[in-house]
């Protein structure tokens, strides 16, 4: 890869705009990178997903993304019970603090924290090209995005992109 000019920002491309992609993009942005997110789906993902049980690691990552975690993030559960099929309690109640929330709530918080205009919908990745100058992500609609790094967070319905090596460009 060619050396960067002094004072220029590193550039990352994130393929997949769901929770994992948005966490990666927000963290890179706050570390000084120029970042764009490319999402296959053509509209906001906020109405998708279901209820989720969070963990402290998720909240720490979100706080590093600049997101304030407060009582609007979800509903706190302080303990658990185990029930049999008839609804009878089995064993003792045990303490376990977690916050229950909606996938859409986490998505909205992360998307709102990300740079406006750098999240691109309807960009289905076809393949990635790599050469001495960096990487190029090629979308089905012909969009080309170049950077120094590409990260993929395509989720359960994603498919891996093929990678093509190009001959190093001669200057």
11-45 pLDDT tens trace: 999 999 999 999 999 999 999 999 999 998 877 77
| Contact residues for 53 (Cβ-Cβ < 8 A; gap 6+) | 77, 98, 99, 100
Between 101 and 9, the higher pLDDT residue: 101
Distance in angstroms (rounded) separating the CA atoms of residues 16 and 20 = 8
* Mean of pLDDT values over 91-119: 93
Average pLDDT, the chain: 87
pLDDT digits (tens, 9 = 90+) for 36-48: 999 988 777 766 6
Residue identified by tokens 């789906």 is 41
Structural contact between residues 37 and 137, judged by C-beta atoms closer than 8 angstroms: no
Determine if the pTM surpasses 0.85. no
SS3 142: coil
Per the DSSP assignment, residues forming a β-bridge with 89 are 83
For the chain, how far is it from start to end, CA to CA, in angstroms? 13
Please check the confidence at residue 108 and state whether its pLDDT lies above 50: yes
Which is higher by pLDDT, 151 or 164? 151
């Amino acid at each position: 890869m060619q050396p960067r000019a002094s004072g220029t920002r590193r550039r990352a491309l994130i393929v997949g705009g769901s929770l994992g992609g948005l966490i990666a993009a927000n963290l890179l942005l706050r570390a000084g990178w120029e970042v764009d997110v490319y999402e296959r789906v053509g509209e906001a993902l906020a109405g998708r997903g279901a209820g989720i049980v969070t963990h402290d690691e998720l909240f720490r990552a979100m706080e590093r993304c600049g997101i304030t975690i407060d009582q609007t993030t979800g509903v706190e559960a302080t303990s658990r019970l185990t029930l049999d099929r008839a609804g009878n309690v089995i064993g003792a109640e045990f303490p376990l603090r977690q916050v229950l929330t909606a996938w859409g709530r986490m998505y909205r918080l992360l998307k709102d924290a990300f740079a406006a205009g750098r999240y691109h919908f309807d960009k289905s990745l076809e393949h990635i090209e790599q050469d001495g100058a960096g990487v190029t992500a090629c979308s089905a609609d012909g969009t080309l995005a170049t950077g120094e790094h590409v990260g993929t967070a395509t989720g359960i319905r994603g498919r891996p992109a093929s990678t093509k090596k190009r001959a190093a460009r001669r200057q």
